[in-house]
Structure 1
Amino acid sequence: MALKIISGAACFWSDMRQTLCATFVILALNYPALAQQPAAVPVGVAKAERKPIAKAGDFVGRVEAISRVEIRARVTGYLDGVLFKEGDLIKEGALLYRIEKGLFEAQVQQAEGALERSKAAKTLSALQLARAEDLVEKQVGTVVARDQAQATDQQAEGAVMTDEANLTTARINLSYTDIMSPITGKIGRTNITKGNVVSPGNGSLTVIVSQDPMYVTFPVSQREFLRAQAAGRKVDISDIKARLRFADGTTYQEEGSINFVDVQVDRATDTILARATFPNPAGALVDGQFVRIELETGKPQEKVVIPQAALIADQEGVYVFVVEDSKAVVRRVKPGDGIDTGVVIEQGLTGGDLVIVDGLLLVRPGSAVHATPARALNGS
């Protein structure tokens, strides 16, 4: 009433202020009513969507090359040349190292000479044997002489076989002076350079790993197998789809398939080793790399999916806020598996609900809200 008296007195001061005074009186009379209506809280919402979700398992795996070869010297000699660029893709049969050939070529020639001598000795022994047999038939030669000629001929034949084997060995050793790539793949750094002596005892000269396709091996716990058995499902590896995620969270574009499950359990870890094959046309998978592998089994089933940011936990469990009649309403939910930035809701939502994901700190049960699409979800 004091406000109204002051306003009325002011009206007598000037006719020009009459309109302002009337407005002031109206606001003063209605102030208690306005104070009882709090402003709606601005929130960002996302729709709970029903999506086809396949049953999946998440495991940690390691990328392995299907073929991995350590290149070693097979003869001893001076290294005459390194004929590749480290890190390059090498074709099968490509020349990698060359060992000095002179000594090995001489050994081949020496073996060829020895073979010629043994062949000549064999020719002579054969003639002597034939002459001794002829003399025995004419009863002018002795049986002892014939037997000695026969033994000499057999020894000559054995010498020919030995020298032929020595020549083959020398030629093989000569071929080992050119060290070729046995597979197609990427080659690592060289552990020895031109001018050094190499031998089988030097160990690995370099390593070549195949690139496409690649294996990913991963351990599967006994719990996972027992869970599958308890559900009455028979594990059929031909129906399992495999996908990869890298350490930075990005997803590998190519889809893989399971091709092997070990026949025994690792006693140290109580796990079974499984292996998947993935195409690697662009070389994105690297031998020894750690990845996460997701396995999908069975036909996809429709599930309600919401953003993980909408979940709130308290002593009673997990709940979300949904918008109903421009008010925030609590819904208790049962979350399931996570999918990218979302999570499957097993119970509590039916799909189509507007779930609050932004502005949760200012929201209270039953409070008025002003809902707009969440930017983080719409990408706007």
Structure 2
Amino acid sequence: MYPFAFAVARYLSILVVFSFVGTCALAQQAPPAAVAVGTVAAERKPIERSGTLVGRIEAVQRVEVRARVTGYLEEVLFKEGDLVKEGAPLYRIERGLFEAAVTAAQAALDRSKAAKVLTEIQFKRAQELLDKATGTAVARDQALAADQQADAQILSDQANLETAKINLGYTEINSPIAGKIDKTNITKGNVVGPNSGVLTTIVSQDPMYVSFPVSQRDYLEARERSAKFGKVKVKIRFSDGKTYGQIGEINFVSVSVSRSTDTILARATIPNPDGVLIDGQLVQVILESGEPEEKVLVPQAALIADQAGTYVFVVEDGKAVVKRIKIGAEIGADVVVDQGLKGGEQVIVQGIQAVRAGAPVQAAPLPKTIDRS
């Protein structure tokens, strides 16, 4: 009886083992569950080639206002930070001494003219006496010299009068250009003069310049694409990431290359009707040139990076497939794909964390305007 019971027990244990092995095999053959993901189609669209540089805003006209005569400052005639017109009065210097100088110069000129009348008469008399043989050549020559000296004195006194009038005019300092005026460095009650330094500064507002260095390589590529570098469109992006609405045009390229940086200085003119651009402001300069090229765009949210580079997951035959890509410029929330995609691929942008290469996925196309983060 015992040998029979042992045989039965052994048979039952073998059945249990085969049953367990069969269950494991079935478990391994069961397909994994598909991961739900959101996709966006890789879009082909015409993109203008562009490059980003660092530039600085410069006023087309910039004037440092200085006093040209020495005197007591009676009035400051402007409000700091305001827009001023060309010719607008800015400062007024005490006029009394300069008006007196004009009067004195005028009196000296009148004396010279009166002396001229006398020397002219004396010369004529000396010449007449010489002609009648009753006078001498020496007397005539002396009278001629005195008359010529009177002419010279008139010229000198006329010049002094003009100088006095000019200096009187300098007592009112007017704006030489239209633009925005800075704060005043000297206030009413001080004595100002040519050695007082800059009284204030005025910068023109519209248009503005933006100057930026361009590498030789970028310059040559841009010139080749657009035939002339001057046809390149210039856009500006501020430090907060916002793009300025106006478009500029290049109006100057330096005639030489910087030996220290191997760059060429370029300058563009850009409209500034609302005064948004400020002299000295540091900005990003975006250069767009040549005809638009067909490029593939994908959302930045789809990008994944590893040691081998950048890639995205696309859906093919219900599975997640890795596509290695080479990316270019950023355009808003999208990025240009220079290599790796042809366009039309369903790129995974949601649920990426749970996706593995070759794993089944259940794709749901997302609207273009949806938040893909």
| TM class, shorter-length | 0.7 to 0.9
Query: How does 1:140-159 map onto structure 2 within 5 Å?
Result: 140-159=134-153
**How many percent of aligned residue pairs carry the same amino acid?**
61
Aligned-partner SS, 1:378: coil
Determine which of 270, 273, 276 is the counterpart of 1:278.
Answer: 270
Q: Is 366-375 or 173-182 further displaced after alignment? A: 366-375
**Separation in 1, partners of 2:336, 2:327:** 6
Q: The residue matched to 2:245 in structure 1 has which SS?
A: coil
Deviations 1:84-130 (A, max 9, x none): 01110111000000000001000000000000001000011001111
Q: CA deviation at 1:310?
A: 1.3
Alignment of 1:124-273 (within 5 A): 124-225=118-219, 235-273=227-265
Match of 1:87 among 81, 87, 98: 81
| TM-aligned CA deviation for residue 309 of structure 1 | 2.3
Structure 1 residue runs of 5 or longer lacking an equivalent are 1-31
Matched ranges for 1:328-339 at <5 A:
328-339=320-331
C-alpha distance in 2 between matches for 1:104 and 1:301: 69
The range that moved more, 114-123 or 369-378, is: 369-378
Superposition deviation, residue 268 in structure 1: 1.9
The one of 347, 354, 372 aligned to 1:355:
347
Deviation at 1:42, TM superposition (A): 3.6
Which amino acid letter does the alignment assign opposite residue 122 of structure 1? K
Q: Deviations over 1:56-99 (max 9, x none)?
A: 22111000001000000000000010000111011100000000
- Helix, strand or coil: the match of 2:280? coil
Residue 307 of structure 2 is aligned to residue 315 of structure 1: yes
| Contact 1:240 1:257 (C-alpha < 8 Å) held by counterparts | yes
Q: 1:255 to 1:97 in 2, by over 3 A?
A: same
Structure 2 residues without counterparts, runs of 5 or longer:
1-25
For 2:285 and 2:366, locate their aligned partners in 1 and report how far apart those are by CA, in whole Å.
30
What is residue 290 of structure 2 aligned with on the other side? 298
Give the partner amino acid of 2:62.
Answer: R
Offset, 1:375: 7.6
- Note the C-alpha offset of 1:37: 6.1
How many Å separate the matches in 2 of 1:281 and 1:101? 39
Cα-to-partner distance string for 1:207-234 (whole Å, 9 max, x where unaligned): 00001000000001133246568xx657
After superposition, what is the alpha-carbon deviation per residue over 1:134-184, rounded to whole angstroms, capped at 9, x for unaligned? 111111111111111111111111111000000000000000001010111
Contact 2:235 2:285 in 1 (8 A): yes
Deviation at 1:51, TM superposition (A): 1.2
Question: What is the rounded CA distance, in whole Å, between the counterparts of 1:124 and 1:227 in structure 2?
Answer: 80
For 1:218, the aligned partner's letter is: F
Distance between the aligned counterparts of 2:230 and 2:158, measured in 1?
54
TM-score by length of 2: 0.87
Give the distance between the partners of 1:116 and 1:228, measured in 2 at CA: 69
Task: Give TM-score scaled by structure 1 length.
Answer: 0.86
The one-letter code matched in structure 2 to 1:183 is I
Matches of 2:85 and 2:33 in 1, distance apart?
Answer: 72
Contact 1:304/1:349 (8 A) holds in 2 = yes
Task: Please tell me whether the aligned partners of residues 214 and 279 of structure 1 are also in contact (alpha carbons under 8 angstroms).
Answer: yes
Q: Please say if 1:108 is aligned against 2:102.
A: yes
> What letter corresponds to residue 157 of structure 1 in structure 2?
D
Aligned residues: 347
